[in-house]
Amino acid sequence: MLYHAAVPVGHDQGYDLELTAAADVDELIRLLYLDDAGTASIQRTEVDPVLDVQVHDRFGYLMYVGDQMYGYSVGDPDSPDLADLSEVGFPAGTGVPLERFRAALVEFITKDGALPSVVEWRPVEQFAGD
């Protein structure tokens, strides 16, 4: 089965990408760089893990929702929070360098939605009050 990324752009536009290879991930990242791109959700089916992702400046943000984890990537302490820019509300310190962000996306789509091991993770509740 294929993974799909739903990428909202603006208030009434968006893209649905099929993700099967690294080149598809590159296209997703290109779309996430659009000025009015929102948080993209990557998923195979309704019961499979979801990876919510966003790009801001030089950072990629990740949130994994599945049996293995409900949490955010642990990133650069200087990465800003995206509470006002994202419906996911990525906290400060969760943005990772784009090279690792890309590697995490490729790992997710090629390893059956397993929690990407190229980044560290913390449960959502550990970010409360940060």
Enter the pTM of the model: 0.93
User: Cβ(100)–Cβ(117) under 8 Å?
Assistant: no
Q: What is the pLDDT of residue 130?
A: 52
3-state helix, strand, coil in the chain (%, to 5): 20, 35, 45
Q: What is the pLDDT of residue 1?
A: 66
H helical segments located in 6-64:
22-32
Q: What is the pLDDT of residue 62?
A: 98
User: Cβ(63)–Cβ(90) under 8 Å?
Assistant: yes
Domain count for the chain, please give it: 1
Structure tokens at 108: 């997710």
Q: What is the pLDDT of residue 85?
A: 79
Domain boundaries, position 50:
3-127
Q: What is the pLDDT of residue 73?
A: 97
User: Cβ(49)–Cβ(66) under 8 Å?
Assistant: yes
Q: What is the pLDDT of residue 35?
A: 86
Q: Mark the ranges of the chain whose per-residue pLDDT is less than 50.
A: none
Q: What is the pLDDT of residue 24?
A: 96
